[in-house]
Structure 1
Amino acid sequence: MTLLVFIFLLAFVQARSSDGKYFTSSPLLGPRQVTGLLYGSVTVKCFYQATKVNRHDRKYWCKESTRQCSTIISSNGYLSREYEGRATITDFPDYGLFTIEILGLRKSDMGTYKCGIGINNKLFFRVKLDVSEDSVIPEEAQLFYIKQQGAVTITCDFGNLYGTARKYLCRMTENQCSTVIDASGNVNPSYKGRVLLNHNEAPGSFNIFMTQLKRQDSGLYLCGAGWYGISGETKELNIHIYEEPLLSKGNAEQPLVKGVLDGSVSVECYYDPKGNVTLKYLCKWRKNGCTQLINNFGDVLDSYEGRIVMHDNPENGTFTVILNQLQETDAGYYWCMTDGEQEKKSTTELKIIEGQPNLKGLKEINIVAGSPLSLTCSYPCKYYSYNKYWCKWKNTACDPLSSYELNQTGLVVNCDKDSRILSLNFDHVAPSDQGWYWCGVKYEGRYGETMAVYLRIEGAFQGSEDAPDAESNRDAAILGIDSRLRKSKIATGVENPTESPAEHNNSKVLLSVLIPLGVMFLLLATIFALVKFKIFKNSDRVSVASYRTNISMTDFENASQYGAKDNACMEEAHETQLGEINEYAITTGSPKEAPKSTKRGSKEEAEMAYSTFLLNSESISATSS
């Protein structure tokens, strides 16, 4: 008696499991009931676990009776005579699906059927087929067969009549339908971060996204407009989650990542590289939607500029998103999204924990344009064998510069393994160098921790014409010449503002030599003028005038021969000084009459003084040349 009760309970549980209302571990799943119009057609979808055995095993469709289940059609080629020309079976082993289609429905086709795999009639589920004479087929529960850790997209459309009504998804239990998510932002705690509700453009239409699905998520759901049991409409959704034994650990989604303040994390997302995937993006989950942060077209949310980047790797069907300079508000759920197949959507939770970043350096640097610079990034011993890199951030990528690589802008990446410092060296920074720079590590092709630093260029100038002449300013300070004197030199032609740097340096050297010589020459000229003045006091006006004429002519000829015109500034100074001395000698009072013997003696002294003057002039001219 006990054995009979046990068998009855087992059969009851199996029957209840097959209706989709309760969790079932059956590797097969299909609709609980299908309905077709009389003389019309019906299609039944049978999902199975796509193992190697199941993909190649026999699939069948049989009708139950009180004694047995008579085969209608099988994938081995069998077809019942009663269903010739009316029944077909098609297997899709790559998708874990086979379909049964029946044409020309009759009243006698009504009944209970089995959709199964194998030859021993042990792996199956039951389907009830109903044939209706009405003109409209009642809507059936939509079936979803999803592997564990996978995702599903559900579209619910209730038309314009429910355009403004409340939209929701709930899960059926024995007596009620518990809300999973609704348009007001109410989310069941067990689905937090794993479910989204997005409105479509058409009124009354919306999408439900579910990801990181678990075995316990299997069951019967309703998507609806209005309020369950009170008003509006609903649609049945039968979701079955199966375990994928062949799922490798390397392809499993990351359910959780941890990061520290000011540190970084990376999220690896998967997609089918052979599929028609054009859009890939990462979004941050919120109760009323999912905010897109970055996509593969280079669109980046403004508040994440400089601290998020996407690396796409089509060869293995992954894209990695790195988030930098973590803040407390970054904690939450992040979704990997594509516009390809539905099961390539996943979610990752980010938690901010206590700790310090492993990569350390300045987070912001202000520097004057034209200055040399070295950006440094220190790393711990555990990253000693990792690949280290520097890169300049862009919204589309942050391509690493290899160690010791010299690029076109003169940037050099250097790694000092003794001090564990990775540096990025600039010969001189330019306005175009302003922006974000990332220091990071890689291991076996995977991106690891990163550190971001912002470089701000101050005092930027557009070209060399606007650059300050620092060397000229230093020389002016040494000579005691301020900027106003320098401007007056340019105005008078002493300094040429358009001369080349080499010509400018040569002029300064020549000027530093000629100025002392000019001072010495002025001193000698003053002494000579005093001597002349004493002599001219005792000479008559005619003798002095004729003698002055002889002296001034000879003086200028000698000055011309010894290159006095080599410097225009020095030539003007000499001419002015000599002119002042002569004018002073002519306009003085008339000398008194003297005996002839005195005149002869004065003339001889004057000739001796003049000879001495010429000798000194020749010596000075030779030295200056």
Structure 2
Amino acid sequence: MKLLALVFLLALLPAGSARGRHLPKAAISSPVFGPRQVQGVLGGSVTVQCFYPPTPVNKHDRKYWCRQQGSRCVTMVATNFVAPSYQGRVSLSDHPEAENFQIHISDLGPGDSGTFQCGLGVNGRGLSHTVTLNVTEGPDVPEAAELFYVKLRSTWTVSCGFGEHTASMRRYLCKKEKDGCRNIVNSYQEIDPDFQGRVLLTFEEPPGSFSVTMTQMDWEDTGLYYCGAGEYGNGGNSKELDVFVYEDKNFPHLKTTVTGKTGSSATFECLYDPLKKSSTRIWCKWRKQGCDKIIDNTGYVKFNYEGRVAMFENPENKTVTVVLNQLQPRDEGFYWCMSNELKEQQSSTELKVVEGEPALTGQKLVEAREGSRVDLTCSYPCQYYSYEKYWCKWNYTGCPMLPTPGQGLPGPAATCDSSTRTVVLSFDPVTREDAGWYWCGVRRNGAFGEAMAVELQVGTEGDAKHSPELLDVDSSPESGAVPPGGAYSDAEVRKGAAPDSSEESHGSNTLALVLGPLAGLILIVVTAFAIVRYRQLKRSDLVSVGSYRTNISMSDFESVRDFSASNGARESQETPMGGDEFVTTSDTPESAADTKKAKRSSKEDAELAYSSFLATSDSIAQGSAGGDGAVSPPQA
């Protein structure tokens, strides 16, 4: 009953989970691998190559080549041994650094055909591989399959080329199956869904050549493949590839999937063994048409990833860690670690970005004034309390940790307030050189965890833009004080403490710069006009002459004033009249009598002054109104 239940549960498993569940018999029974068939010509020679895991025991163990005879396997050649009947024409050479040994057979005869085994140890251990050798008379020998001995979870790379005439043809890699050859990838960017993100086809030189790289090799990837140009089995060019996947327990097991929260970070591990100064280490994002480089160890960082990505080398465990922060949904995809050292150490990891709140929190953009004190804060939850916390300053080649050796105060210093679980990076005072990206993060046992990026912008008072109506004239120390932490609020930025970076503020400043000088110019003109007008009013009286009103200088009336003046008399005042007469009224009868007496005694002088006045007023009226005004002399 229990057996039936187990069978039923296995039947319910999804088809996709079959990958990695059943191991090929060859991978389980023997890690030794070699060719399935070898073709030879009479009188010629062949070389058989057999692979084995490079463990310390295997490197020093006995290697052999034997011929199957029923239930027995008779040794023809082994380490330090050659059968008498094969002396002089059979040899075995071991290459532990290349993880294989080779059997060379010359002067082939018809009796050399048969079934053989290449193996390690003594017969019966099971560490062997069966090979069929065929010796024929024909001059043409079929091309043998190229062998690939690939570690589990590592990367396989193969190069193929069929001449320049195939440069315009479809290039492909397919896997041999019962019903044909299953397309894995081709130059038309058609990729099997099971290989999305972990296979890449690249064109190479000379024209017509290409390579295929497949990462995260699994047990089911063992088998026969064909790379070719044109269509498989339709008269095109093709090459047989025999791939064997085995497990090396010393080979690191890397994550195939990394999950990060929106706004948080993700950490990727890359294998680079050995780490050489001349090696190239690249981290790129996989796409069907290629791998888009994001960062490498030479100082290259893609422009839209500045401040977001950093590469940390760890020679102790022969790995390189890549940290990507400020995650967004568009960052989802497959990322590759690539190197020019060992192709098998290239790897791919899928990034998934999910909704959630980052564990590390703090102000992501801090604006400060040069010479002030600035505190960059990074708060962490209880889950990171036992982790190592750090601050580092990002640059194109990495993120050096702070404080650096030999750096004393004043300057950056990291302190942690355990009561509030906050890591603080302080600058006292801050300088222009301190501007840039700073990362706060956690580590545990040398492994990088979550990280948060903070951008620090440092400006000076000269960078502030003031509009005339918002100009602060208070020169007291308090007016320019920087709030704790050195960060400016939005209101403080608008007061001129630092330039506003928003488009709206930029537009307001531009409008103020245009209208300010114009308003000032208008104010100056109006003021000048008012002054001139005031001075004219002080020196003139408003006079009505017919239908015209104008300002006449009192110098024209000096003779009239002399004529009408008398002891104790008041000045005459203007009286608006509907006619053309100029009339004066006296305040008292006495003053009127005096005036009449003065007029009679100086009649000739008065007539002369009056004539001068009429001539002047007529000239002014014509110039101001542009017409002819008729002025009638007063009646006697």
TM interval, shorter chain, is 0.5 to 0.7
> Which string of whole-angstrom CA distances, capped at 9 and with x for unpartnered residues, describes residues 145-166 of structure 1?
1121111111111111111111
- Pairwise CA distance, 1:276: 8.5
Task: Sort the Cα spacing of 1:152 and 1:261 in 2 relative to 1 into closer, same or farther, 3 A.
Answer: same
Q: What residue is the counterpart of 2:339 in the other structure? A: 338
Task: Sort the Cα spacing of 1:27 and 1:412 in 2 relative to 1 into closer, same or farther, 3 A.
Answer: closer
> Which string of whole-angstrom CA distances, capped at 9 and with x for unpartnered residues, describes residues 154-194 of structure 1?
11111111111111111110121111111222211211222
Q: What residue is the counterpart of 1:426 in the other structure? A: 427
Q: What secondary structure is seen at the aligned counterpart in 2 of 1:450?
A: strand
Distance 1:112 1:156 in 2: 30
Amino acid at match of 1:354: E
- Pairwise CA distance, 1:30: 0.8
Q: What residue is the counterpart of 1:297 in the other structure? A: 298
Q: What residue is the counterpart of 2:39 in the other structure? A: 35
Contact 1:273 1:317 in 2 (8 A): yes
Amino acid at match of 1:247: N
Amino acid at match of 1:118: G
Q: What secondary structure is seen at the aligned counterpart in 1 of 2:475?
A: helix
- Pairwise CA distance, 1:344: 0.8
Q: What residue is the counterpart of 1:241 in the other structure? A: 245
Contact 1:22 1:219 in 2 (8 A): no
Q: What residue is the counterpart of 2:89 in the other structure? A: 86
The answer for unaligned runs of 5 or more in structure 1 is 1-19, 463-469, 479-625
Of 53-62 and 356-365, more deviation after overlay is shown by: 53-62
Residues 237-386 of structure 1 correspond to what in structure 2 (within 5 A)?
A: 237-244=241-248, 246-247=249-250, 251-273=252-274, 278-386=279-387
Amino acid at match of 2:63: K
Task: Sort the Cα spacing of 1:139 and 1:21 in 2 relative to 1 into closer, same or farther, 3 A.
Answer: farther
Q: CA RMSD in A?
A: 3.0
Distance 1:303 1:37 in 2: 60
Contact 2:228 2:239 in 1 (8 A): yes
Residues 477-492 of structure 1 correspond to what in structure 2 (within 5 A)?
A: none
Contact 1:392 1:399 in 2 (8 A): yes
- Pairwise CA distance, 1:372: 2.5
- Pairwise CA distance, 1:121: 4.1
Q: What residue is the counterpart of 2:13 in the other structure? A: none
Residues 201-600 of structure 1 correspond to what in structure 2 (within 5 A)?
A: 201-244=205-248, 246-247=249-250, 251-273=252-274, 278-402=279-403, 406-407=407-408, 410-459=411-460, 474=475
- Pairwise CA distance, 1:68: 4.6
**Runs of 4+ residues over 6 Å off in structure 1:** 20-23, 274-277, 470-473
Of 153-162 and 102-111, more deviation after overlay is shown by: 102-111
Percent identity between the aligned chains? 43
Distance 1:143 1:92 in 2: 16
- Pairwise CA distance, 1:472: 10
Amino acid at match of 2:196: K
> Which string of whole-angstrom CA distances, capped at 9 and with x for unpartnered residues, describes residues 196-217 of structure 1?
1111121111111111111111
Distance 2:229 2:254 in 1: 33
- Pairwise CA distance, 1:62: 1.9
Q: What residue is the counterpart of 1:109 in the other structure? A: 112
- Pairwise CA distance, 1:143: 1.0
The answer for unaligned runs of 5 or more in structure 2 is 1-22, 464-470, 480-636
Distance 1:336 1:346 in 2: 5
- Pairwise CA distance, 1:471: 13
**Whose helix proportion is higher, 1 or 2?**
1
Amino acid at match of 1:420: R
Q: What secondary structure is seen at the aligned counterpart in 2 of 1:329?
A: helix
Task: Sort the Cα spacing of 1:409 and 1:199 in 2 relative to 1 into closer, same or farther, 3 A.
Answer: farther
- Pairwise CA distance, 1:457: 2.9
Q: What secondary structure is seen at the aligned counterpart in 2 of 1:27?
A: coil
Q: What residue is the counterpart of 1:9 in the other structure? A: none
- Pairwise CA distance, 1:321: 0.5
- Pairwise CA distance, 1:377: 0.9
Contact 2:310 2:398 in 1 (8 A): yes
- Pairwise CA distance, 1:379: 0.9
Contact 2:198 2:348 in 1 (8 A): yes
Q: What secondary structure is seen at the aligned counterpart in 2 of 1:161?
A: helix
Q: What secondary structure is seen at the aligned counterpart in 1 of 2:402?
A: coil
Task: Sort the Cα spacing of 1:394 and 1:129 in 2 relative to 1 into closer, same or farther, 3 A.
Answer: same
> Which string of whole-angstrom CA distances, capped at 9 and with x for unpartnered residues, describes residues 469-491 of structure 1?
x9997289x9xxxxxxxxxxxxx
Distance 1:286 1:302 in 2: 18
Distance 1:95 1:268 in 2: 26
Amino acid at match of 1:341: L
Distance 2:367 2:235 in 1: 63
Q: What residue is the counterpart of 1:16 in the other structure? A: none
Q: TM-score, normalised by structure 1?
A: 0.66
Contact 2:262 2:354 in 1 (8 A): yes
Aligned length: 448
Distance 1:444 1:70 in 2: 54
Distance 1:40 1:357 in 2: 69
Q: What secondary structure is seen at the aligned counterpart in 2 of 1:165?
A: coil
Contact 1:61 1:71 in 2 (8 A): yes
Distance 1:231 1:158 in 2: 13
- Pairwise CA distance, 1:420: 1.2
